[in-house]
A and B are shown apart, each in its own frame.
Chain A
Amino acid sequence: MIEQLLNGLALGMVYALIAVGYSLVFGVLRLVNFSHGSVYAFGAHMALFFVGLQFGVIPAIVFSIILTGILDILIDKFSLAPLRKKKSKGIAALITTIGIAYIIQNLLMIFFGSQTKPFPAIFDYGYVTVLGISIKSTQLFILVVSLILLAILTYVVKFTKIGLSMRAVEQNQKAASLMGINVNSVIRFTFFLGGASAAIAGSLISGYYQVVYPNMGFLAGLKAFSAAVLGGIGVLYGSIVGGLVVGVSESYAAALLGGSYRDAVAFIILIIVLLFKPTGLFGKKDITKV
């Protein structure tokens, strides 16, 4: 049982990392970035690619983080920024991100093949005993790394200047730009953060399961989105709590109900949350003004 809990926590932290990407972008743009799942798969594949070039695992992940961040910036620059300029309706941006998810996922399939590929284990030293409980070192690694990263992200958003401008854009774009904030560059930075955290999540989860495949982003992205909605989309710590809840309940469902139902848990959580409290656990109520 405790093993399942740890499993779930490690998984949940990764979901939280992806969910943060949804949350950040939703915060500034009020847009669910459907391409996020495929960006996560892209990050994992880039890490695999650089590992294949004999860079060593850690530099490969760093390269992948940078590249994925840049990819996310490019997505914004070439597909979403023009829509913002034209003041298109939200649905147009939503469909655009679905299209981009499709493009990325299928290009990955063409260039890397659709089969599952092995990925080297990161930080695998067998089992570690902490306080009388033996933990897989990879799980511990995921937990620690994602905790640190989430702390850094929270710090960036709460205590730095760029974080301040992000929050300003979140509250009111027009007012923020009147105050001399370059809204577009803030949005681009947000996308970079989202992409980078997705790449880290992708590398961590591929190091944990030791497989990579182009469709990995679809389910993971949806589950992370459920996590983000559960915690209240747009709220950072909400994403972390949501991610942990989804991860833990998923691993318990896999243990109790069998593996075939594990993927359904996140959706059931999602639908229940949407029915009873669409704003999520910690979300603020959005008031529509006329």
Chain B
Amino acid sequence: MAKKLALKNNTIVDWISKLRNYYYAHKKVFFIALAVLIVLTPYISPSQYILRIIIMVGIYTILALALGLVTGYTGQVSLGHASFYAIGAYTSALLSTHFGLNFFITVPISAIVAAIGGLLLGLPTLRLSGTYLAIATLGFCEVVRMILLNWQSVTNGPLGVSKIPRPSIFGYELTLANNGLYYLMIVLLILTTACMIAIVRSKMGRALKAIREDELAATMMGIKTTYYKVLAFVISAFFSGLAGAFYAHLIRYIDPNTFVFDTSIMILSIVILGGMGTINGMFLGSALLVSFPEVLRFLQEYRFVVYGIVLVMMMRFRPQGIMGGQKKSNYQFPSGTIMNRNTTQTKFSLSQENSVEGGV
């Protein structure tokens, strides 16, 4: 029985690696097809309802990418990302309802305000190690929610902010019906992804990974660990705020109940399911977890139970996540080093299964 299973497993692995080789051989074709698919999605999708879910997937992907920088690449667990999401959403909503500012002005402001929130939380608490940090972020998230609930003159308390205007470009209103919101989401998503890839591949990304692997060793190598951790936190908060602002203008009504602990856990589940320390894992993870309650309506009640089971099972059997674990290419040394020439040959050696990239 066991032998049979192992055999089956092997063929699957073979199949996957074949598929992967095929993908690498025809990378350009795949990219063009993907781009066409992304552009055409609103015309293919059968209803606005589906399009709305796809947009939600996009928002959660941005959030997961943001958290991924802190949890996946730097190894710091944050249970408070719903607070940055909330800060972004509330800032943008209040600015646009009270002062009538355009979406494209409020979005950068709210992202910056969220980043300042990240700095406020990050500066003092990132001297703490793993568990304490997780608790402190959780406490921060609750404090933010309590401020939103109790500062009634500004946030309108539990009633929330309503009648948030839709984003518009030169008077042209972007809605679900004219697909404007969808394309706006795509633009924001591409922006976030590009920034994340740039960060991860930069000197900063290497520093973050070093901190994740061994903070003490990283300090010994002369990496300013606190500086990089706070910076990662601020950048992460910035993009969470961006996602929050977009969410506020998409739903047009926000209240403190959207930004609870459950949301933080959902983002964390996406990061873990997709694979810590991966970029494409975030897309897969949020597609799975966001669409999951919609696809399995009959499991609605058990939704959060399943999130819990996902967390436990992933930690037990595949802590590196779905996409994590297998290195897609060897580490590329920055240009200018002698090693550079040697690595190009081994770039496509894909069979190294044991080189865990997204180690937990």
Which positions in A face B, CB cutoff 8 Å? 31-32, 79, 82-83, 88-96, 98-103, 105-107, 110, 218, 222, 225-226, 229, 260-261, 263-264, 267-268, 270-271, 274-275, 278, 288, 290
Contacts and interface: CB of A to CB of B under 8 A. Distances in A.
A290 B135 contact: no
A260 B77 contact: no
Interface secondary structure of A, over-half rule:
helix
Interface in B126-177: 128, 130-132, 134-136, 138-140, 142-143, 146, 149-150
Interface in B176-234: 216
A101 B272 CA distance: 17
12 contacts: A82-B316, A91-B77, A96-B316, A99-B308, A102-B265, A102-B307, A105-B304, A106-B305, A267-B140, A268-B143, A274-B132, A288-B216
A271 B143 CA distance: 10
B285 interface: no
Given A92-B360, A263-B142, A274 B125 contact: yes
A275 to B, nearest CB: 5
Given A88-B360, A99-B307, A103-B308, 4 more contacts: A32-B131, A83-B315, A95-B268, A229-B132
B139 A271 contact: yes
B139 A270 contact: yes
A107 B309 CA distance: 12
Contacts of A260: 146, 149-150
B311 interface: yes
A225 B241 CA distance: 29
A108 B77 CA distance: 26
A145 to B, nearest CB: 28
A15 to B, nearest CB: 15
A225 B139 CA distance: 11
Nearest to A88: B319
B139 A222 contact: yes
Contact of B308 (A92, A106, A264, A268): A106
Interface in B7-46: none
B308 A278 contact: no
Interface string B286-322: 0000000000000001101101111110011001000
B253 interface: no
B150 A110 contact: no
Nearest to B304: A106
B336 interface: no
Interface of B: 75, 77, 79, 124-125, 128, 130-132, 134-136, 138-140, 142-143, 146, 149-150, 216, 261, 265, 268, 272, 301-302, 304-305, 307-312, 315-316, 319, 359-360
A110 B301 contact: yes
Contacts of A101: 308
Given A99-B308, A102-B304, A222 B360 contact: no
Contact of A100 (B132, B149, B272, B308): B308
A94 B142 contact: no
A234 to B, nearest CB: 12
Contact of B216 (A90, A91, A94, A290): A290
A278 B134 CA distance: 13
Nearest to A110: B301
A229 to B, nearest CB: 7
Contacts of B131: 31-32, 90, 94
Contacts of B135: 32, 222, 225, 229, 270, 274
Contacts of B142: 222, 263-264, 267
Contact of B312 (A100, A106, A222, A226): A100
3 A-B pairs closest in CB distance: A99-B311, A102-B308, A103-B308
Contact of B134 (A94, A264, A267): A94
A99 B309 contact: yes
B132 A278 contact: yes
Contact of B146 (A31, A95, A100, A263): A263
Interface centre among A93, A98, A103, A274, by most chain B C-beta atoms within 10 angstroms, is: A98
A36 to B, nearest CB: 12
A275 B127 CA distance: 9
Given A83-B315, A218-B261, A91 B75 contact: yes
Given A90-B131, A99-B311, A222 B316 contact: no
Contacts of B272: 95
Contacts of B316: 79, 82-83, 96
Contacts of A95: 77, 268, 272, 311, 315
Given A92-B360, A263-B142, A290-B216, A278 B311 contact: no
A96 B307 CA distance: 11
B136 A222 contact: no
Contacts of B150: 260-261
Contact of B130 (A82, A91, A107): A91
A88 B318 CA distance: 11
Contact of A271 (B136, B146, B149): B136
Contact of A92 (B304, B305, B309, B319): B319
A99 B136 contact: no
B302 A274 contact: no
A218 to B, nearest CB: 7
